[in-house]
A and B are shown apart, each in its own frame.
Chain A
């Protein structure tokens, strides 16, 4: 069965330093993987998605993620954190079930950015 594990529940960085949010997945077939972001009091917004094309995926706001099959990972990175990046981030894998693509969410990683 498909699942994701987000390895850190909280990450804290200083503004201008790199961001790394870790996600490992489990899938019996080539997965589709997403990263969503949730800002306080806002809905979830899609950051980026991997659907078996290029393994390095670029998303919005300078984020990118690399699909590594050998490591079953899909870590989210950004070279330089901005205060506006403070939010909760969810790694998501698709499970094909009952004729539709079901989203399986990780538990989330809360990113704090300090001045």
Chain B
């Protein structure tokens, strides 16, 4: 079984709809992250969480919110989706003791906003 899972894997929605992307991990890591990937831009950090009570904005948090329901679960919400949020979204985890920042990634969620 995968250590970091994301649901759904693909989603098509319409402008203005509320969308939630979910991430679960079985690695026992404290830290979790949400990224979006756009062609030619690499990955950009949306939000990150050090533990259940510690959530921080990343580089591109506008239009997004998150919830850390438990150590193992970190959800990303788009309150009112817009077409330029069409992208591939990745969840990642890391251990506070991990080797100088290595992160472990889920398989990604491909979101299309029409």
A residues engaging B (CB < 8 A)?
A: 9, 32, 34, 36, 41-46, 49, 51, 90, 94, 98, 100-103, 105-108
What are 8 sample pairs from A and B whose C-beta atoms fall under 8 A apart? A42-B107, A49-B100, A51-B99, A101-B101, A102-B101, A103-B103, A107-B40, A107-B42
Contact present for A98 and B99 (CB under 8 Å): no
CB distance from A8 to the nearest CB of B (A): 12
Interface residues of B in 80-114 (CB under 8 A from A): 90, 92, 94, 99-108
Given contacts A100-B31, A105-B42, contact A43 B99 (CB under 8 A): no
With contacts A90-B42, A100-B31, A107-B41 known, is A34 near B102, CB below 8 A? yes
Residues of B at under 8 Å CB distance from A?
4, 31, 40-45, 48, 50, 56, 90, 92, 94, 99-108
Q: How far is the CA of A62 from the CA of B104 in the complex (A)?
A: 21
**Which residues from chain A contact B45 at a C-beta distance below 8 Å?**
102-103
Give the Cβ gap from B88 to chain A, nearest Cβ, in Å: 9
With both beta carbons as reference points, the residue of chain B lying nearest to A101 in the complex is identified as: B101
Contact A51 B106 (CB under 8 A): no
Contact partner, A46, options B4, B40, B48, B102, Cβ 8 Å: B102
- Nearest CB to that of B38 among chain A residues? A107
- Bound-complex Cα distance A86 to B75 (A): 31
Q: Are A43 and B101 in contact (CB under 8 A)?
A: no
A50 to B49, CA, bound (A): 25
